[in-house]
């Protein structure tokens, strides 16, 4: 039965993507690839128990890349009529005539195309009405505001839904596509006490609505996080252990992945050049990439080039087992694509034995970081310096909040100084990791 919410069915856009390739071939392209996508979404936000925004989105688009030998052209459109698709292909072909030859460009190798498109259970529509979404957002915000009388204002709570599908085809004869969904609930509130004012937030996201954290719990966490930051104190410059809260620990893993990704490597803009098979981190660090995790936020049976994805060990006991490559960067490096055109897929970091409390006890005296400001990472040298806020910890117990500090080190050293990884995993994106304890960093007052 056709889904009347969408202008076309998945089968129809698969056929359209193949038709686009035929047009490219007729215009003389030696190879081509095309992707068509459709998506719909709804977002409702409330603030101080009043509806603030109700938004709907309905998007569609097609992008095509054509190759004339080693010359490449790309164009896209949001108009999926037959004439518009033809015009877009013609535009891409025209662009290709003016581009320089690039010996590394082209489709991924034909023998790497996905043969069996796995069903990874990624599509779970959330048929929540606007009124129901409003009530859920109000419930979330009310839970936050009721945490403490010092919570005096709100930046609001929101409930969002989104789903869609796409089809990708290339001239190797590959065509694949599937539907997916992603939904979320979030809340942000402000707490005040004397001369102190702080905000904090919490959110949960998942493929299926039933996997989202309970709305009242999200609000309660947002409220508790805001209140606990009140009345922060200064600390003296020191070198101490630093514990990155789980949501921030994923950022450390992101920096590692960026450093071992093809673009950084062939541009020589990475502090981990020529690191394959070498010890790049503490023996405690083990990272597995699992593209086929059911309901995973970054699951996919094939990458953006149609290459079959595969589970693999990326880091084993601190030793780098593989890079993160698409076909272009792989060719530049004289290597083979790892099926990562478009990004990584569900990076799962092995936890140690300690929960969050255990991680604080392991740290003893040091800094718990709960917020980071700015980018502050030099990908060429690995130098790391970022504004931060969090809590001072003594003997494994949180003593008081701190803010307006800078934490500094070098990422290459930080990775090797990982002395603990917690079991307190928070799944909010493509990386699943608990809190990470770094043995030593410089902490300075701003």
d(CA 283, CA 303): 30
DSSP string, 309-363: P--EEEEETTEE---B--HHHHHHTTS---S-TT----EEEPP-S--HHHHHHHH
- 356-413 residue pLDDT tens: 999 999 999 999 999 999 878 999 999 999 999 999 999 999 999 999 999 999 999 9
Please state the φ and ψ torsions of residue 259, each to the nearest 5 degrees.
-70, -25
- Please list the pLDDT of the chain residue by residue as tens digits (446 residues): 457 688 899 999 999 999 999 999 999 999 999 999 999 999 999 999 999 999 999 999 999 999 999 999 999 999 999 999 999 999 999 999 999 999 999 999 999 999 989 999 999 999 999 999 999 999 999 999 999 999 999 999 999 999 999 999 999 999 999 999 999 999 999 999 988 899 999 999 999 999 999 999 999 999 999 999 998 988 989 999 999 999 999 999 999 999 999 999 999 999 999 999 999 999 999 999 999 999 999 999 999 999 999 999 999 999 999 999 999 999 999 999 999 999 999 999 999 999 999 999 999 999 999 999 987 899 999 999 999 999 999 999 999 999 999 999 999 999 999 999 999 999 999 999 999 999 999 999 86
d(CA 217, CA 209): 15
DSSP string, 211-242: GSPPHHHHHHHHHHHHHTTSS------EEEEE
Query: Quick one: tokens of 437?
Result: 């304890």
pLDDT score, position 7: 87
| Structural domain boundaries in the chain | 10-226, 230-251+351-445
Which one, of 237, 192, 250, lies nearest residue 367 by Cα?
A: 237
pLDDT score, position 5: 85
d(CA 219, CA 201): 8
pLDDT score, position 73: 97
pLDDT score, position 445: 81
Q: For the domain 10-226, what is the CATH superfamily, name and number? A: PmbA/TldD superfamily (3.30.2290.10)
d(CA 188, CA 371): 14
Residue 40, H or E segment: strand 31-47
Length of the chain: 446
pLDDT score, position 345: 95
Q: Are residues 327 and 108 in contact, defined by beta-carbon separation less than 8 angstroms? A: yes
d(CA 402, CA 216): 27
d(CA 200, CA 218): 12
pLDDT score, position 446: 66
Q: Are residues 293 and 310 in contact, defined by beta-carbon separation less than 8 angstroms? A: no
Q: Are residues 226 and 341 in contact, defined by beta-carbon separation less than 8 angstroms? A: no
Instruction: Give, in order, the Cα–Cα distances in Å from 275 to each of 134, 155, 438.
Output: 51, 44, 21
Residue 313: CB partners within 8 Å, gap ≥ 6? 286, 287, 288, 289, 321, 322
Query: Quick one: tokens of 117?
Result: 């498109």
Count of beta carbons in the 10 Å neighbourhood of residue 233: 10
d(CA 2, CA 9): 7
Question: Which residues, in sequence order, are bridge partners of residue 279?
Answer: 319
d(CA 112, CA 129): 43
Residue 409: CB partners within 8 Å, gap ≥ 6? 384, 417, 438, 440, 441, 442
pTM: 0.93
Which one, of 173, 146, 171, lies nearest residue 25 by Cα?
A: 171
The residue assigned the tokens 């518009």 is 84
pLDDT score, position 2: 55
């Amino acid at each position: 039965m056709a889904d009347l919410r969408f202008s076309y069915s998945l089968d129809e856009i698969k056929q359209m993507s193949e038709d686009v390739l035929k047009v490219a071939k007729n215009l003389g392209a030696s190879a081509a690839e095309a992707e068509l996508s459709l998506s719909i979404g709804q977002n409702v936000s409330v603030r101080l128990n009043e509806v603030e925004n109700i938004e709907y989105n309905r998007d569609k688009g097609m992008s095509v890349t054509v190759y004339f030998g080693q010359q490449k052209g790309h164009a896209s459109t949001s108009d999926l009529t037959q004439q518009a698709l033809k015009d877009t292909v013609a535009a891409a072909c025209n662009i290709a005539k003016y581009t320089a030859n690039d010996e590394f460009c082209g489709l991924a190798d034909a023998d790497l195309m996905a043969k069996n498109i796995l069903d990874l259970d990624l599509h779970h529509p959330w048929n929540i009405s606007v009124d129901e979404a409003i009530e859920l957002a109000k419930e979330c915000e009310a839970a936050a505001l009721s945490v403490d009388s010092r919570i005096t204002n709100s930046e609001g709570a929101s409930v969002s839904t989104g789903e869609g599908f796409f089809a990708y085809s290339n001239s190797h004869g590959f065509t694949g596509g599937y539907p997916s969904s992603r939904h979320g609930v979030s809340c942000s509130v402000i707490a005040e006490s004397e001369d102190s004012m702080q905000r904090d937030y919490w959110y949960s996201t998942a493929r299926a609505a039933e996997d989202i954290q309970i709305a009242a719990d999200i609000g309660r966490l947002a409220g508790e996080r805001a209140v606990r930051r009140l009345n922060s104190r200064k600390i003296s410059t020191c070198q101490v252990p630093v514990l990155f809260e789980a949501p921030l620990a994923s950022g450390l893993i992101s920096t590692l992945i960026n450093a071992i990704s093809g673009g950084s490597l062939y541009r020589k803009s990475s502090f981990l050049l020529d690191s394959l098979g070498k010890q790049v981190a503490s023996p405690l660090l083990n990272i597995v990439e699992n593209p086929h995790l059911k309901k995973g936020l970054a699951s996919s049976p094939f990458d953006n080039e149609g290459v079959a994805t595969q589970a693999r060990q990326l880091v084993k006991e601190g030793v780098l087992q593989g890079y993160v490559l698409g076909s272009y960067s792989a060719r530049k490096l004289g290597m083979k694509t790892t099926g990562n055109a478009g990004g990584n897929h569900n990076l799962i970091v092995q936890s140690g034995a300690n929960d969050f409390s255990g991680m604080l006890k392991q740290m003893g005296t040091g800094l718990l970081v709960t917020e980071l400001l700015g980018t502050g990472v030099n990908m060429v040298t690995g130098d790391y310096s970022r504004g931060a806020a969090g809590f001072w910890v003594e003997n494994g117990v949180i003593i008081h909040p701190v803010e307006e500090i800078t934490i500094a080190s070098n990422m290459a050293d930080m990775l090797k100084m990982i002395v603990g990884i917690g079991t307190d995993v928070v799944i909010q994106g493509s990386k699943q990791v608990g809190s990470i304890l770094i043995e030593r960093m410089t902490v300075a007052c701003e």
